Structure 1
Amino acid sequence: MRAEALKGHLDGLLLAALEAGPLHGYAVKEALRESHFDLPTGTVYPALHRLERAGLISGSWSVVSGRRRRTYELTSSGHAALSGERAGWQEFAAAVSAALGTRPWPATS
């Protein structure tokens, strides 16, 4: 999927990737890639930092095999925001589906 088609939906995708439990940044990027969203690092990490500053996710540092990595998880506010993102997406998807459907368009005068 083209990156420009994701505008306005990135936060919801990142929150959804973290719904099952904590992931480090690269694992979040890989989870999205497995869902057909191959986003550049320069898009994912700044968005994770922004979501953390907003209190929707929390991050903690760990050392694995001598390398530092930051692991992120949803906060209670993040769970609520994800619910809102899903509801907004359902409404948007229904409207687009209706507009792109095969029903005849009303005539204009």
Structure 2
Amino acid sequence: MKIENAKVQMRKGILEYCILRIISRGEIYASEILDELIEAKIMVVEGTLYPLLTRLKNAGLLDYKWVESASGPPRKYYVLTDTGQEFLEALGDTWDSLSSSVNTIISNK
């Protein structure tokens, strides 16, 4: 087993939660989401984000609106739907529990 494969799988497992958490702060453009994920070293491949945003939108968790841009074509800004907010809260509860469990295991010597 290669360590890089394990790292990628760990990141994939939390990527959806991180994207929803970022969007929960308010309307946001996809490249801003990508920048934050790259800065946090959660994702480094742009091609992963757009299909995931589409999947989340099709699941009713996100919505978007087009906003005119002075510097180019209109931009698509994402927001959470009410269903998306509920989904995020449930994922947050799961993350808190999982994180606590993992920290308990790690701290045991």
Query: Unpaired runs of 5+ in structure 2?
Result: 1-6
Within 1, Cα distance between the matches of 2:31 and 2:15?
A: 16
Which of 57, 63, 67 lines up with 1:62 in the alignment?
Answer: 67
- Which AA in structure 2 matches 1:14? I
The sequence identity of aligned pairs, in percent, is 27
| Match of residue 26 from structure 1 | 31
Which of 1 and 2 has greater Rg? Answer: 1
* 1:80 matched to 2:86: yes
8 Å CA contact 2:64, 2:77 repeated in 1: yes
Question: Counting helix residues as a fraction of each chain, which structure ranks higher?
Answer: 2
TM-score, normalised to structure 2, is 0.82
Query: Unpaired runs of 5+ in structure 1?
Result: 104-109
**Runs of 4+ more than 4 Å apart:** none
8 Å CA contact 2:11, 2:43 repeated in 1: no
Aligned residue-pair number: 103
TM-score, normalised to structure 1, is 0.82
8 Å CA contact 1:17, 1:32 repeated in 2: no
CA root-mean-square deviation: 1.8
